[in-house]
Amino acid sequence: MNTIDAIRSRRSVKHYDPDHEMPEEEVRQLLELAMLSPTAFNIQNWRFVAVRDRALREQIRAAAWDQAQVTDASLLVVLCADLKAWEKEPARYWKEAPQEVADFLVPAIDGYYRDKPGVMRDEGMRSCGMAAQTIMLAAQAMGYDCCPMDGFDFDKVGELINLPEDHAIAMFVVVGKGTKEPWPRPGQLGYDEVVVADRF
């Protein structure tokens, strides 16, 4: 499936075959593709918690308004942002760049993020959002269905996955084999309402 077809056919599927299991190599392929998603300064600040443990999935489902896709989908990914990725050995993000590029960008990372918690969080959410879209389009291309989710108790899920203090949860993405067709698209806004030429 090409990228345009994947974008057009991707829908948020809520009902999954609970008996279907994704082979480990497909899970790895999916998450390695997500790792190609862009991040500012190449800090790669997303962290993907691939939840496969059934008992843990049940606990997370309880913290997610009992939404069945949390347990029934083949894979649950909790996308988290490492808010301090920018200061964790930042030279490694540019280790294969030309030296003059690394010499310019590595110090710039510190100047951009230090003492700016809002920037750290905003950047983490942007990074996770782009990675989530990569996961969903890759899943679609691989023949799977998917659904992004933010309907859950963030604090409770953080406790369940032992979220580090310098991380924040952005969202879930579930992936699996859907068992029901999604509803027709409920109402797309018109191009002229969404696209603004030059300025509002």
Per-residue pLDDT tens over the stretch 147-169: 999 999 999 999 999 999 999 99
pLDDT value at residue 51: 97
Q: What CA–CA distance (Å, rounded) separates 154 from 132?
A: 17
Q: Spell out the domain ranges in the chain.
A: 11-178
pTM of the full structure: 0.95
pLDDT band of residue 181 (cuts 50, 70, 90) is: confident
pLDDT tens-digit profile of 86-131?
999 999 999 999 999 999 999 999 999 999 999 999 999 999 999 9
137 in helix, strand or coil?
helix
The residue type found at 49 is: V
Identify the DSSP state of 71: H
pLDDT value at residue 171: 98
pLDDT band of residue 184 (cuts 50, 70, 90) is: confident
Q: What CA–CA distance (Å, rounded) separates 129 from 78?
A: 12
Q: Are 74 and 21 in contact (CB under 8 A)?
A: yes
pLDDT value at residue 152: 98
Fold of 11-178: NADH Oxidase (3.40.109)
Q: Are 11 and 144 in contact (CB under 8 A)?
A: no
Q: Are 46 and 127 in contact (CB under 8 A)?
A: yes
pLDDT value at residue 165: 98
